[in-house]
Structure 1
Amino acid sequence: MNQLQRLSDRIISRVKINLEEFEFDTEPFVNHALDHEKMLEFYAFYGITSRHPLYFNFKNSNIAGSYFLGKCYVERSAIYKSDVRGDELKRKGDSIRSAKNLPLVEDEMISILDSLLYKTLVHSNSHNPESPELFSIRNTISAHYANIHGSTLEGCFLGPFATVDLMNLHSCIVGEFSYVQLGELFHRKIDPGTIWIKSPHFEFKYRFKNTILENFVGVNDAHQPRGMIYDFVKARDQEFERLFEVMHLEPFEVPGTSAVNRYAVIKGKTRIGENVLVAQRAFLQNATMGDGSNAQENSYIIDSVLQGNCITAHGGKIIHADVGQECFVGFNSFLNGRSDERIKIGEGCIIMPHTIINPSMPIEIPNEHLVWGYIQSPEDLATHTISLDALAEVRESLTVGTMTFSGKGAVFIGSFKDRLKKILKDNGALYKDGENRGHAQDDQNISYNIIQPYRTGEPKGLYPSIRIKP
């Protein structure tokens, strides 16, 4: 176990150097988050399909409970019960538009060095033109249920339920429950509860009041999470642990064009339509998934109905809700309806990442609206929603409640809708007559393989150095 402790100390020291200017010490978080004895209880898993590039290299690391799909190189890291998803890695010959369409000279690889990812999702859709063959995470610590989505990081700390999306971060601290999509960020500290999207053509910004955020995602002095959203997730953790305790499960019957991952929880009267993707660590209970809809990693859909082509992004939570056709529910959103106080979302709505709807009465959101922030009653809709048509008319700036928007609203909406179309295509929602295959079709036949740690001796808790390739 001494080697595992030295591994933890190494990660702490590397990240501390990068964040020295902030006088930010990650040691309390690591020491409170990692129970080295408990890490021995979990094995690591990797998936193999004929459609994903196979290469895994693990060296001097602890990867307890983690799930890997696609090419990945891990060295001197502790990746604890995280999900490293490489199913959108670029291949040799592919190109990135932002890199002047220069083709890749080799397959893209995920590289994780001297980092701790604590129950973190890593999604490989990188847009970094500086290193198109390498999706890099280095000298980084990520807290509970954070999302690293297409973002390369160096020397960063991500708070609980934070999301970094399609960008590059260098020596940054991202506060709990913050969502940032800014292209590139250097030596910045993002306040908790900040939702910030910026491009050359527009900027969207909103920040939760501290008094509200504390009820849903707060942290103690050691940056360990608490609050309603954390309690909701923690109460269901054991359901996932049961999946990892057995080798074989009876598959959940779905149409031949849909995929339900073996490490997803499916309970109650759940119905799955055509071209549906239910990813690993998704949780469905009494859920109806319309044709072409998806439940991405760490999402929860409970006592809810999703019409066709709905997207539930990583960490999205939908409880007692009726969601109309072609809606998007963003990262780590918390739609917390009740049986007699349901949430109804009209067709074509965009629920911004990290939105909280926690009503004390039934809530209904009209078709084609953008939704953000904290909504508790119908009166809150006036300051936390706007029709997409009204936003499209904005040419310079707009303030609604405490949300500020500047730039061209039509470009913002167009960019968002283009991205949603790509997500639907990538996930196989548009599959028909053998055309437009996506994850819902490609992920139907995955072989899962177990890797185990040393049980005794000096390297106890570490995994043997191992290379898996075709």
Structure 2
Amino acid sequence: MDQLKQLNERIIRRVNVNLEEFDFNTEDFVRNSLEYDKMLEFYAFYGITSQHPIYFHFKNSNIAGSYFLGKCYVGRSAIYKSDVRGDELKRMGDTIRYKKDVPLVEDEMITIRDSLLYKTLVHSNSHNLESPEQFGIHNTIAAHYVNIHGTTLEGCFLGPFATVDLMNLHSCIVGEFSYVQAGELFHRKIDPGTVWIRSKNFEFKYKFNKEVLDNFVGVNSSYQPRGIIYDFVKEREQDYEKLFDVVNLEPIKAPNSSAVNRYALIQGKTQIGENVLISQRAFLDNAVMGNGSNAQENTYIIHSNLAGLCITAHGGKIIHADIGLETFVGFNCFLNGKPNARIEIGEGCIIMPHTIIDPHTPLKIPDEHLVWGFIGSEEDVENNTLSLDALAEIRDTLRMGKMVFTGNGSVFIDAFRRRISQILLANGALFNNGENRGHAQDDQNISFNTIQPYRTGERKGLYPSIRINP
């Protein structure tokens, strides 16, 4: 156990050096978060399919309860109950477009060094032109339920329920429940509850009211999370842990074109349509998944209906809601309907990442609307939604409450719709007659293999160094 504690001390020091200018000390977070007994108890597991390149290398690390797919290297790191998903890593011969095509000379690999990822999702789709063969996370600490999506990180701290998406960060702090997709950032501190999307043609920015944010996702002095969303996830965590106690489970009934991951939890009278993807650590209870819909990692769909071709992005939570055709529910959204206060989302809507909808009476969002921020009443619907047609007319600046949009609205909508189309295609939602095969088809035949840590001796708590080749 001493070596495991020394490992975490080394991570603390490396991250603190990078964040020294902010006078930010990660020591309290690490020491109050790690559950050393469970770091001994949980096995790690990796998936093998014929569709993905295989290379796993774990060295001087603890990887308790974590899942790996694709090409991954973990060195001198603690990866606790995290998802490291490399199924979208670029391959040798692929190109990155920058004025002229930049070819990859080898397969891209996820490389995690001197970092602590705590219940974190890592999903590869790197846009780093400087190192296209490496998806890197170095000298970084990610707190509870962070999403790292297509992002290179060096010397950063990400607060609970934060999301960083398709960008690169260097020596940055991202506050709790913030979503950032803003290119490359150096030595920046992002306030809690900030939703920030920036490109050369537009910028969207929203910041949650502090009192509202604290109610749903707050933190104490050592950055441990609290609040309604954290309690919601925590209450259901033990249900997931039961999946790790059994090696072989009865497969969930689903059409041949759909995939339900072995580490997804399916309860109640859940119905699964054609071309549906249910990822690991998804939680479905009395859910209806229409054709071509998906429930990505760490999503919850409870007493809800998804009409079809719906995307529930990583960490999205949909409770007592009816979601219209081709609607996107973004990262870490919390759509918290009630039995007597259902949420109805119209067709073709874009629910921005980190949106909270928490009504006490039935609430309806019309078709083809952009939705953001906090909505608890019909008045909030007026202030925090906008028709896509109206947004498309914007060419300068729009201010609605705490939201500011600048730039070209039609370009913003087109960019979102392109990404939604790419996600549906990649997830196999458009599979037909053997064409447009995606994750929902490729993930049907994953075999899972487990690794366990040393239980005694001087390396107690560390996993054996191991390299797994094809």
Q: What is the TM-score with the length of structure 2 in the denominator?
A: 1.00
Alignment match, 1:47 = 47
Alignment match, 2:59 = 59
Alignment match, 1:111 = 111
Residues in 2 aligned to 1:10 and 1:119: alpha-carbon distance in whole angstroms = 20
Residues in 1 aligned to 2:463 and 2:379: alpha-carbon distance in whole angstroms = 54
Residues in 1 aligned to 2:25 and 2:90: alpha-carbon distance in whole angstroms = 36
Alignment match, 2:237 = 237
**1:419 maps to 2:419:** yes
Residues in 1 aligned to 2:368 and 2:184: alpha-carbon distance in whole angstroms = 30
Contact kept in structure 2, 1:299 and 1:314, CA below 8 Å = yes
Residues in 1 aligned to 2:340 and 2:115: alpha-carbon distance in whole angstroms = 45
- Cα distance, 1:360 vs structure 2: 1.1
Contact kept in structure 1, 2:38 and 2:64, CA below 8 Å = no
Residues in 2 aligned to 1:380 and 1:7: alpha-carbon distance in whole angstroms = 47
Residues in 2 aligned to 1:442 and 1:148: alpha-carbon distance in whole angstroms = 23
Alignment match, 2:76 = 76
**Matched residue SS, 1:443:** helix
Alignment match, 2:220 = 220
Which residue type is aligned with residue 215 of structure 1?
Answer: N
Deviating above 4 A after TM superposition, structure 1's stretches of 4 or more consecutive aligned residues are none
**1:282 maps to 2:282:** yes
**Matched residue SS, 2:46:** strand
Residues in 2 aligned to 1:332 and 1:268: alpha-carbon distance in whole angstroms = 23
Please show how residues 30-41 of structure 1 align to structure 2 within 5 Å.
30-41=30-41
Contact kept in structure 2, 1:99 and 1:129, CA below 8 Å = no
**1:437 maps to 2:437:** yes
Alignment match, 2:20 = 20
Alignment match, 1:163 = 163
**Number of positions where the alignment pairs a residue of Structure 1 with one of Structure 2:** 470
Which residue type is aligned with residue 169 of structure 1?
Answer: L
Residues in 2 aligned to 1:331 and 1:389: alpha-carbon distance in whole angstroms = 23
Quick one: structure 1 residues 210 and 124, their matched pair in 2 at CA, closer, same or farther if it must change by over 3 Å? same
TM-align CA RMSD: 0.6
**Matched residue SS, 2:444:** coil
Contact kept in structure 1, 2:292 and 2:428, CA below 8 Å = yes
Alignment match, 1:461 = 461
Contact kept in structure 2, 1:142 and 1:160, CA below 8 Å = yes
Alignment match, 1:144 = 144
Structure 1 residues without counterparts, runs of 5 or longer: none
Q: Deviations over 1:104-142 (max 9, x none)?
A: 000000000000000000000111111110000000000
Which residue type is aligned with residue 448 of structure 1?
Answer: F
- Cα distance, 1:38 vs structure 2: 2.1
Alignment match, 2:294 = 294
Structure 2 residues without counterparts, runs of 5 or longer: none
**Matched residue SS, 1:281:** coil
Please show how residues 115-194 of structure 1 align to structure 2 within 5 Å.
115-194=115-194
Contact kept in structure 2, 1:454 and 1:462, CA below 8 Å = yes
Residues in 1 aligned to 2:401 and 2:325: alpha-carbon distance in whole angstroms = 28
Which residue type is aligned with residue 403 of structure 1?
Answer: M
Please show how residues 402-413 of structure 1 align to structure 2 within 5 Å.
402-413=402-413
Contact kept in structure 2, 1:275 and 1:291, CA below 8 Å = yes
Contact kept in structure 2, 1:156 and 1:170, CA below 8 Å = yes
Contact kept in structure 2, 1:15 and 1:26, CA below 8 Å = yes
Contact kept in structure 2, 1:116 and 1:140, CA below 8 Å = yes
- Cα distance, 1:100 vs structure 2: 2.9
- Cα distance, 1:99 vs structure 2: 6.8
**1:256 maps to 2:256:** yes
